[in-house]
Amino acid sequence: MLDIRQIRENPELVQTKLDLRGAGAYDIQPILALDKQQRELESTRSQLQARSNEIGKLVGEKMRSGTAPNAPEIQTLKDEGNIVKAQLNELEPAERELKAQIITLILQLPNLPSDTTPIGKTEDENIELRKWGDEYIPTNPQILPHWEIGEKLGILNFESSAKIAQSRFVTLIGVGAALERALISFMLDRQIAAGYTEISPPILVNTASMTATGQLPKFAEDGFKCAEDDLWLIPTAEVPVTNLYREQILNSEQLPIHHCAYTPCFRREAGSAGRDTRGLIRLHQFNKIELVKFVHPDTSEQEHEALVQNAEAILQALKLPYRVLELCTGDIGFSAAKCYDLEVWLPSAGKYREISSCSNFKDFQARRGDIRFKETGKKGTQFIHTLNGSGLAVGRTMAAILENYQQPDGTIQVPEVLQSYLGRAVL
């Protein structure tokens, strides 16, 4: 959430940065107008409260000096006091309503892009920073798409899943299920070894939790909500893990905090009609290992780079070719100030596809969730910086393995680092 003081004191700068996300998409003028009204009401209320206090003091002084309680001058003051109280009773709810309207509008504003985020309008203006693993790109011209080879091997079943639920669900069978389990264990083991503390959080969260991380109100149509409860199926473990610290004040000595979590994730993919309708790339239910960091503002940029390296390490261990993109202002996520995407090579498509998005939210989520920290020996508190990234999306990793490790005879070579987890070298 953006700071109302920043909007009020630097409106041109805030509007300029918001326009970098898409000219005309966000307008802070309604917020400024409501803020002006609220502050005028606040000023009037303060003056009335001061007068009310003054009247009470005057009445007390006159009565202590011997003036009778029913004297005309006392009654005049009391009458004025009643009028002032009535005015206060009208102003206070009006001021609360204005504050609520301001918060509602601010919650609809995205984070401001970092000064180092490249300026651009669409994903076509993202910057490719580096590639890795060109030598591992397969040369077999007969590679089948992962869904075809998976169904041929009898390890993926989409048809029965559509009967059980609907399209964009999958059932993993036999070594398909075992491969996913192996990937989850491998990814968690690697991230724990890198210094992350594992979390197994709830996968149902309340509206406050979704709002704190920026999923609500912006992405309500993309979520699955339980009709009779204030509970949502999580779109990512980022939501419950971040909210572990909601409305808390941490000590600076506790920072940085690094967590990793495996969870199922659920998304309607409301804005992706007609895209990736086959395979494991865009499902309504999928598994993911999430990396979440809570860090001091002074170290968040370095922590962000380290987070990307932690995600890259998984792809390198699996020997899957990938590239790293720095997203431009028109393509970064709603809550992100800066973002890097990792894209893995999919031979059947002949292109790289996103497998991890690593974002620095700075204090955006911390303001929404009221997550602060206090430095020893210093007064006051500061908002923490939060970061997160996939380490990795499990289904997309499986898709990349089924294609990049596909052999001419139709078998799948198991990546060396997974063989001990899976207990076999070939699928």
- At residue 214, the pLDDT reads 96
pLDDT at site 350: 94
Catalytic residue, chosen from 8, 181, 268, 282, is: 282
Terminal Cα distance for the chain, rounded: 48
CA nearest neighbour of 364 among 266, 297, 291, 265: 297
- pLDDT category of residue 274 using cuts at 50, 70 and 90: low
pLDDT of 275 higher than 80? no
pLDDT at 7: 97
**The predicted structure's pLDDT at residue 273:** 59
Residues 7-29, mean pLDDT to the nearest whole number: 94
Told to judge if 424 belongs to the known catalytic residues of this protein, a careful annotator would answer: no
- Choice among 114, 335, 357, 359 that is catalytic: 357
pLDDT tens for 13-23 read 999 999 999 87
Instruction: Please confirm, yes or no, whether 46 is among the known catalytic residues.
Output: no
Tokens of 1: 């959430």
42-67: average pLDDT: 87
* pLDDT score of 227: 83
Average pLDDT across the chain, whole number: 94
Residues above pLDDT 70, as percent of the chain: 98
Distance CA 283, CA 263 (A): 14
Residue count of the chain, please give it: 427
Asked if 129 and 75 touch (Cβ cutoff 8 Å), the reply is no
Instruction: Give the least confident one: 104-113, 264-273, 388-397.
Output: 264-273
Q: How confident is the model at residue 395 (pLDDT cuts 50, 70, 90)?
A: very high
Question: Which domains are seen in the chain, by residue range?
Answer: 4-106 (1.10.287.40), 123-422 (3.30.930.10)
What does the pLDDT read at residue 315? 98
Instruction: Give the strand pairing for 371-374 and 382-383.
Output: antiparallel
User: Is 357 an active-site residue?
Assistant: yes
pLDDT at position 60 is 83
> Which of 125, 151, 354, 375 is labelled catalytic?
354
* Active site annotation includes 396: yes
Q: Which pLDDT belongs to residue 270?
A: 63
Residues 329-361: tens digit of each pLDDT: 999 999 999 999 999 999 999 999 999 999 999
Least-confidence region, from 27-36, 72-81, 137-146: 72-81
- Is 408's pLDDT higher than 90? yes
Q: Rounded to an integer, what distance in angstroms lies between the CA atom of residue 4 and that of residue 102?
A: 9
Q: What is the arithmetic mean of pLDDT over 8-34? A: 95
Residue 277 has pLDDT above 70, yes or no: yes
Q: Per the residue annotation, which of 267, 367, 368, 372 is the catalytic one? A: 267
Known catalytic residue: 160? no
pTM: 0.91
Confidence of residue 392 (pLDDT cuts 50, 70, 90): very high
Query: Going by C-beta distance under 8 Å and a sequence separation of 6 or more, which residues neighbour residue 342?
Result: 308, 311, 312, 315, 322, 323, 324, 325, 354, 355, 356, 357, 358, 392
pLDDT in tens, 175-200: 999 999 999 999 999 999 999 999 99
The Cα 242–Cα 201 span in angstroms is 10
Residue 262 pLDDT > 90: yes
